[in-house]
Structure 1
Amino acid sequence: MSTTADPTTVAVGSWLHGVVRDADPAALAGVAGMDGGPVRAVRAAGLAAVVSAAPLTEYGEEALRRNLEDLAWLERAARAHHAVVDLLARSGPVVPARLATVHHDDTRVAAMLAERRADLSGTLDRLTGRGEWGVKGYVRPGVPPRAEAPAASGGAGAAYLRRRRAQLTARDEGQRIAAEAAAAVHEALAGSAVAARRHAPQDRRLSGAPTAMVLNGAYLVAGAAVEGFAALVAELTDRHPELRLELTGPWPPYSFVDGRREPAR
């Protein structure tokens, strides 16, 4: 006796949130996946991939191409994805998946774990005991640039002329000084971190800040070094009054994993 597939059945894929060494089912019960339902762990090759159900009518390749152009949809998806990744990061190292990494089923997810076992295990080892911290730097308006130390033969008059010249070209000079300060801050912070990334500054419409962002840095910091790292941010704030520095974190290590998008298979 033959059977006919129900044409109303919706194919469901597996949205990948992240890979960990193991996942506690009780902990996973506290967060919802992309469809509002529970997330689950797919185990293979000594690793666990945490996934949630993703109806392909909304999360299939063509649907994703369309939905990723919808900013409201994209924000909802990013928040739901991050909620799961953040939960995983609180329990230990996690390799976050890039947003919109969808496999056709759990079998394909398990195959990915087997294929990338060495890479994923190495990344988890590198991230153990470390977290991502963000430092954003914004131009602080109204703060005059610091005068350079006067040359021995220049005296106070030369210093005044330098200050006056800076005032006459305040806008361009301010941007230049802010950019140089941002580079100096990033270099100092990178020296106190395990790894560092400098991302493109966010547009004001996205950052919501009243002034321009000139630094958008991410820093991988060992747990034992966090206090010193925060103290360095405070010191750099005093050293560079032309910038307002904002320290955030810890975040899941989005900036320090392989950014490739796993194709749906």
Structure 2
Amino acid sequence: MTGLRYVYAVCRPFRTPLQAQLTGVTGAPAALLHHHGLVAVVSTVPEADFCEEALKAHLEDLDWLAATARAHQGVVDALTTVTTPLPLRLATVFRDDSALRMMIEAREDDFRRLLDRLDGRVEWGVKVYLEPEPAEDEPAAAARPVSGRDYLRSRRERSHAQEERWQRAERFAHSLHGRLAERAEDVRLHRPQNSAISGTTGQNVLNAAYLVPRAHSEEFVELVDRTKDEAPGIRVELTGPWAAYSFSGEASGEQDEAATGAETGAETGAKTGVESGAESGKGPGEGR
């Protein structure tokens, strides 16, 4: 079976060995390809699953997407323990090592610039949710509205209360974001998640990523923890530390949307993005 070169990340050479028997997508072992003073972390994947047409079909399969995203992130996580990786998009493939080397040469300056910027830094994700209102018992017959006017007034009151709760959540999220941004070197605001797709309860008010020096991560985490009980009915979730997916220049809004349904608790799909085969009719790895 013909194989393609799947690329997880690009980094600088490092001395600490990767985890023994580290495997990636489709269970293939991860390997290192050195070129021009950079390292591409790769594995071999079957062309039958990662050619352009196959990827188009696979991207409609959330189970496949989630499994691939978990394997992709597993390799990047392992890299993060030994170096600063520059993660590439999910399903970035090349025809062979020669095509991969050509890509490294074409993007060498960008890779070095980004690696310099990300060195010693990690990404933290923060989400703010407006929790669902507690379910109310069905009112007793005597307490139910007895006229259309009473019914409409009750509806208006509930709508007004919900609007006030949402505005309070937005004010809290804005304030929290401002405090966190002061502790971060860079910020990315992602689109709020659709709870029907992600399966998460509550309405997502803030979905942000923060680039933080690793040495200052403890202070950042403590700041988030102190805010979790500030506003009843509002939930704050912190994830990380991650490789700097949101700051690598590899992810885009469209890819984030495509991968949202594949989230695995580690937010894998949303962070890596998805590269759906070749661009403009080119074969895998050609001209990318």
Is TM-score (shorter-chain normalized) higher than 0.5?
yes
Partner Cα distance (2:200, 2:60) in 1:
24
Partner Cα distance (1:199, 1:97) in 2:
18
Out of 226-235 and 245-254, give the one that drifted further: 226-235
Partner Cα distance (1:12, 1:142) in 2:
52
Tell me which of 205, 211, 225 is aligned to 1:214: 205
What is the deviation of 1:177? 1.9
1:113 aligns with 2:118: no
CA contact (8 A) 1:34 1:77 kept: yes
Q: Per the alignment, do residues 166 and 223 of structure 1 end up closer, same or farther by CA in structure 2, a change over 3 Å counting?
A: farther
Give the paired residue count. Answer: 235
Q: Deviations over 1:157-178 (max 9, x none)?
A: xxxxxxxx99871111111221
The root-mean-square deviation of aligned C-alpha atoms, in Å, is 2.3
Question: Which residue of structure 1 aligns with residue 51 of structure 2?
Answer: 60
Q: Give 1 or 2 for the bigger CA radius of gyration.
A: 1
Tell me which of 35, 56, 66 is aligned to 1:75: 66
Tell me which of 80, 86, 89 is aligned to 2:77: 86
Identity of aligned residues (%): 40
What TM-score comes out, normalization by structure 1 length?
0.81
Partner Cα distance (2:204, 2:13) in 1:
38
CA contact (8 A) 1:181 1:240 kept: yes
Partner Cα distance (2:93, 2:7) in 1:
6
Give the AA of the match of 1:134: G
Where in structure 2 are the equivalents of 1:154-233 lying within 5 Å?
Answer: 169-233=160-224
Q: Per the alignment, do residues 193 and 166 of structure 1 end up closer, same or farther by CA in structure 2, a change over 3 Å counting?
A: farther
Provide runs of 4+ in structure 1 moved above 4 Å: 23-26, 165-168, 260-263
Q: Deviations over 1:81-100 (max 9, x none)?
A: 11111111111210001111
Partner Cα distance (1:23, 1:78) in 2:
24
CA contact (8 A) 2:18 2:82 kept: no
CA contact (8 A) 1:28 1:39 kept: no
Bigger RCO of structures 1 and 2 (CA < 8 A, at least 6 apart): 2
What TM-score comes out, normalization by structure 2 length?
0.75
Q: Which consecutive residues of structure 2, in runs of 5 or more, have no partner in the other structure? A: 135-155, 252-274, 280-284
